[in-house]
Amino acid sequence: MTTPARFVAFCDGSALVNPGGPGGTGLVVLDRSRQALRFGGTRWVVDGPYAVTNNRMELRAVLEALDGLPAGEQVEVISDSRYVVDALGKWIQGWRRKGWRTAAGEPVSNRDLIEAIDARAREFKVRYSWVRGHAGHAVNEVVDQLAQSAARGVTGPDEAAVRAALRAESFLGAEGPALVPRPSAPP
C-alpha cells in the first residue's frame, strides 16, 4: 500500500480476568474519503465455547472494525497487540502451510477468529500496523479506554474525546468527519 488507506481502523481488546473475562473491544474507524467516523466498544461475557481472553478480544476488535466496510478498499488496521499484527500479517501463512500448527506443533490458538478475520480481510487490501501501547498515542489510548469501558459495562469515551484524539494524531482537521453510529450487536 503506497497511498494512504481509505479506512484507518484502530483496534484494542481487554479482558478483566485473563482468561475468563468479562472482556471488551474498542475501535475507531475513520473513512478518509467520505469523512465519516465510527467508534465504540462491545462487552463480551461469554465467547461461545471459548474463554474470554485478552487475545480473543484484540482479535474480535479487528473483526468488528472490518464489519460493514465496502469490499475492494484499502484498510490500515492499527493495533498495540504484537500478537494481532504478527498473527494476521506474518504467522498466518506458515500456520496454513503447517495445517494450523505452531512451530512447536501445537494447534494455533484462536484459529476461529484468525480465519474469520482472514476471510473478511481478503475482501480488502489490508495492512496491519503496530503502535506501542500506553505510550501516549492519543487514538490508541482512546480505543484502550473504549475496550476497558466495554469490559466493565460502563460508558466509554464520547465523540468529542475520539475527535480530539484523532486531531492530536493528525488524522482530522478542525472540522472532522460526520459521525456514523455504530450499531451495538453484543454476542
- Residue ranges covered by each domain of the chain: 7-179
- Catalytic sites, residue numbers: 12-13, 58, 80, 134, 144
Model confidence pLDDT, tens digit, residues 124-182: 999 999 999 999 999 999 999 999 999 999 999 999 999 999 999 999 876 655 544 44
Reduced to 3 DSSP states, what percent helix, strand and coil does the chain have, rounded to the nearest 5? Answer: 35, 25, 40
Q: Is 178 helix (H, G, I), strand (E, B) or coil?
A: strand
- At 26, which amino acid appears? G
**For a pLDDT cut of 90, what percent of the chain falls above it?**
87
Instruction: Give the separation between CA 137 and CA 139, rounded to whole angstroms.
Output: 6
pTM above 0.85?
yes
Q: Which CATH code for domain 7-179?
A: 3.30.420.10
